[in-house]
A and B are shown apart, each in its own frame.
Chain A
């Protein structure tokens, strides 16, 4: 591959990799926000919390897979507790209550990580077996970034199967559509919603662990990803996993090719895209819920 082609191909893969990271964060958010209608502004904080937990797990065990397993589960448990004991109480009073509560939770998480892990930047190296570059047709690309792409695709597949091919998924979608009716049929809807919230924070946790080796783990990590993930959910359409996946990919590609061709405009291309989509389709590309 000649150097110019290699550069364009590399930018394409960078776009995909970044898009998949975005998807990992946004998929959890779209589950919670889109399907349950809960405005969870603490979502990115779970992403950050998981990165910190994975740092500790890695320090103690030295095993990346354990970190990838434990940190998201711990985040999910905290998320479930938050839903059960906090969010459920304010859900009836609408978005304002949720907004204030989740901002509060985000602040508590932020201060907690500072108490437990301090305020300095923490290093989390790429696991040894995923270090280095792989050469494909003359293009050298970091293995770890390819791993992130693969991880996101696997999670997308799992989530899609659960939501659209299992009874649980059917119940979730039904509960989202008409919770009272599903409740009347004997399904414990609060339990279903709690499980969905847990899966959403688990997804954020997976993203936190996956991205930590690329970024610095520090208390501002949530701010770095939160806004972009929120934009993905809005543009893709609330509750649409497919929408989140497509928009994440588009955002990633806009970001990388934007830097390549119109560098000065690169940071705003995502906003321009979102604005165009919302003007044409106010519910987002695949919006299912108002």
Chain B
């Protein structure tokens, strides 16, 4: 009887252990392990080492010429970094062969016809395994259409429109690892309503096209849900590449707004904030893309103080949580400082995997490569099977989950408050204890939990 009781107790104990411990060990399917990272001292994005022979080909479909040419370079360096790292580790075992990763630049020139042409060329001529992109949802839509037509995997890393994955546009060959417009808007609202609880009067100023309206709608929806007592004192949509923001700023000033919510990207975002400061308006902006370092320096410490950024690659304070993370950051930052040449030695590239968009693009690429490795194949069907429902832990500890039904990433976002350099230590907890000297940067960080900002799911999407 006694032994029966003991066996029974043991079974209960094992069950309890399984319920608690096993899910934790299975919490992520894979994680970026800094300990496995190769010696990157020979990495130089200006002089890439291009593997030959049978390779895993990734085409970065982006603007490499025209007014937005710089964006292509911002994508290129972190993707190339991930590829270089994996190649130095010996490549990835796929379909019974160890293959290295080859990164190809595919210039869509920010134009739809060119995007279609270059993407098809990448698939048919270069025979790439993955289409990686891009700046502009309208261009990502083209990439997704090509991916669907030729059954090639596409990774949406930088286009943010939810519509790309609605029932009309969804393709099972494309995966959205970036954050999304609706999510960003609701995250900002959640931050102001549930965390910050200070300002109540908001003015929405976004660009007058699908993206800007989607960013605004997400914010309005979020305010209804998380901050019903908030007041939207004004709402405007301006044309793209606007020269003069002064009339909007005068309206905003008269509205009594306490915060300006904007989905603008550079150069509009920079011009908006710059002209506001020139006009003596020190209102805080809640934004996503006002983090371009050259602009931040131009506006200076006071002008950038109080900006609130909804970021996709951040973590709660302190930013650097372990030695591995610091090691990866230092590896990048030392090369930036000592080795790289223009444009990769400019402010924009300074912090790389430390945080921000470049870190995000790098980690999204590592996730892709991890999926290919675990799929053991470049066969799109095997990649889809592995990626759907997959979870991956990034360098900074953040976990991304790929929702199987619509291929959108579920993830925490973070609200980052910009503070003067001397107050940034709370966030930038390694030497020199500040992101930049000449402008405000990340200070207090608040986590917006993923379950509060689940990606928008189109109810008409039947899979």
Q: Which residue of B lies closest to A6 (CB)?
A: B254
Query: Are A255 and B348 also in contact (CB < 8 A) when A121-B294, A218-B67 are?
Result: no
For chain B, the count of residues having a C-beta within 8 Å of the partner chain is 40
Assuming the contacts A14-B250, A259-B248, A263-B236, asked whether A216 and B243 have C-beta atoms less than 8 A apart, the reply is no
A4 → chain B closest CB, angstroms:
8
The interface residues of chain B lying within 8 Å CB-to-CB of A4 are 254
Q: Is the CB of A216 within 8 A of B274?
A: yes
Query: How far does the Cβ of B157 sit from chain A's closest Cβ, in whole Å?
Result: 19
The residue of chain A having its C-beta at the shortest distance from the C-beta of B249 within the complex is A14
Contact at A215–B267, with CB atoms within 8 Å? yes
Could you tell me the distance in whole angstroms from the C-beta of A118 to the nearest C-beta in chain B? 5
Q: How far is the CB of B304 from chain A (nearest CB, A)?
A: 12
Are A119 and B247 in touch, CB under 8 angstroms? no
Which residue from A11, A111, A219 sits with its C-beta under 8 Å from B247?
A11
B69/A256 in contact, CB under 8 A: no
What is the total of A-B residue contacts with beta carbons within 8 Å? Answer: 122
Whether a CB of chain B sits under 8 angstroms from the CB of A18 is yes
Q: Check if B295 is an interface residue, CB within 8 A of chain A.
A: yes
A283 within 8 A of B: no
Choose among A114, A124, A215, A260 the residue that contacts B69 (Cβ–Cβ < 8 A): A114
- A214 in contact with B275 (CB, 8 Å): yes
Q: How far is the CA of A123 from the CA of B270 in the complex (A)?
A: 10
Considering the complex, give the chain A residue whose CB is closest to the CB of B234. A263
Beta-carbon contact of B244 and A119 below 8 Å: no
Selected interface stretch from A140-148, A165-173, A274-282 = A140-148
Q: Which residue of A lies closest to B278 (CB)?
A: A142
Whole-angstrom CA separation of A17 from B244 in the bound complex:
9
CA distance A121 to B454 in the complex (A): 34
Are B280 and A120 in contact, CB atoms less than 8 angstroms apart?
A: no
Chain A residues within 8 Å of B251, by CB: 7, 259-260, 263
Task: Take A119-B73, A121-B270, A220-B67 as given contacts and tell me if A255 and B278 are in contact as well, using a CB distance cutoff of 8 Å.
Answer: no
Quick one: which of B250, B253, B280 has the most chain A CB within 10 A?
A: B250
Is A21 part of the binding interface, using a Cβ–Cβ cutoff of 8 Å? yes
Docked pose: A121 CA to B65 CA in angstroms: 15
- Tell me, rounded to whole Å, the shortest Cβ–Cβ distance linking B294 to chain A: 5
Q: Which residues of chain A from 113 to 140 have any CB-CB distance to chain B below 8 Å in the complex? A: 114, 118-126, 131, 133, 140
Closest to A13 in B: B246
Q: State how many angstroms separate the Cβ of B381 from the closest Cβ of chain A.
A: 38
Which of A7, A122, A211 is close to B294, meaning CB atoms less than 8 Å apart? A122
* A121–B68 CA distance with the chains assembled, in angstroms: 10
> What 6 pairs between A and B have smallest CB-CB spacing?
A220-B67, A123-B298, A119-B70, A259-B247, A256-B247, A14-B246
Interface residues of A (CB under 8 A from B): 3-4, 7, 10-11, 14-15, 17-18, 21, 110-111, 114, 118-126, 131, 133, 140, 142, 144-145, 211, 214-216, 218-220, 223-225, 228, 255-260, 263-264, 266-267
